[in-house]
């Protein structure tokens, strides 16, 4: 199975050249995505809605290297420079700031195990004969890679290196998907 993980912009330009099952991940502020490009190769297009948030007790950024260039864009500077500018700031308080971004007041739809079960069951029941699966969210960096990596493991697509290719996949969503897969298939 070919696995295509894309941003909304990339997905809107995509025209499948083989039988493709699509998973669209909207957030509460997306107000419905425009239709994908018309093609007879779309087997099924399923849309799910949840935000890029996680429960307060979940530590989404426990793996983070604060000197990674990704966080320079998020934090506007490297940990080394931030710690010089703000000597009272600790790595723990900075990680607390990052974690708090998962609890934004304007994003309210938490991904639940029931969402994972729905995605997995829909895929299992509706993707028969598909040669590819396209998964997209708004930016293609967190939610869609998490769902794609989990489906790859649950259904044994055989795609290697996804965690390295998408290092900022949302761990909470990935973990919830795997738990649901174990509940459904017992593996």
4 beta partners: 134
Please tell me the distance from the alpha carbon of residue 96 to that of residue 109, in angstroms, as a whole number.
Answer: 21
By mean pLDDT, which of 2-6, 13-17, 82-86, 110-114 is the weakest?
A: 82-86
pLDDT band at 103 (very low <50, low <70, confident <90, very high): low
Give, in order, the Cα–Cα distances in Å from 141 to each of 13, 17, 146, 148, 168.
Answer: 17, 24, 9, 11, 6
pLDDT band at 38 (very low <50, low <70, confident <90, very high): very high
**Which of 3.90.1150.10, 3.40.1640.10, 3.90.190.10, 1.10.10.10 would CATH assign to domain 2-53+108-185?**
3.90.190.10
pLDDT at 159: 96
pLDDT exceeds 90 at position 9? yes
Query: What's the pLDDT tens digit per position in 140-162?
Result: 999 999 999 999 999 999 999 99
Domain range annotation of the chain: 2-53+108-185, 69-103
Q: Locate the DSSP E strands across the chain.
A: 2-6, 20-26, 42-49, 132-136
Please tell me the distance from the alpha carbon of residue 132 to that of residue 1, in angstroms, as a whole number.
Answer: 5
Percent of the chain with pLDDT over 70: 82
Mean pLDDT for all residues in the chain: 87
pLDDT at 93: 72
pLDDT band at 64 (very low <50, low <70, confident <90, very high): low
Query: What's the pLDDT tens digit per position in 106-144?
Result: 567 889 999 999 999 999 999 999 999 999 999 999 999
pLDDT at 21: 98
pTM reported for the whole predicted model: 0.82
């Amino acid at each position: 199975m070919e696995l295509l993980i894309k941003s909304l912009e990339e997905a809107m330009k995509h025209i499948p050249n083989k039988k493709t099952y699509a998973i669209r991940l909207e957030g509460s502020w997306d107000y419905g995505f425009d239709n994908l490009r018309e093609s007879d190769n779309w087997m099924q297009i399923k849309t799910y809605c949840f935000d890029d948030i996680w429960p307060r007790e979940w530590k989404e950024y426990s793996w983070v290297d604060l000197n990674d260039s990704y966080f320079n864009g998020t934090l506007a500077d490297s940990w080394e420079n931030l710690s010089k500018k703000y000597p009272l700031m600790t790595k723990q308080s900075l990680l607390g700031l990052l974690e708090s971004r998962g609890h934004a007041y304007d994003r309210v739809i938490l991904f639940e195990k029931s969402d994972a079960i729905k995605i997995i069951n829909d895929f299992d029941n509706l993707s028969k004969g598909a040669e590819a699966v396209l998964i997209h969210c708004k930016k293609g960096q967190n939610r869609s890679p998490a769902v794609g990596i989990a489906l790859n493991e649950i259904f044994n697509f055989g795609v290697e290196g996804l965690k390295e290719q998408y290092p900022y996949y949302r761990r909470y969503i990935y973990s919830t998907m795997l738990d649901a897969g174990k509940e459904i298939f017992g593996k």
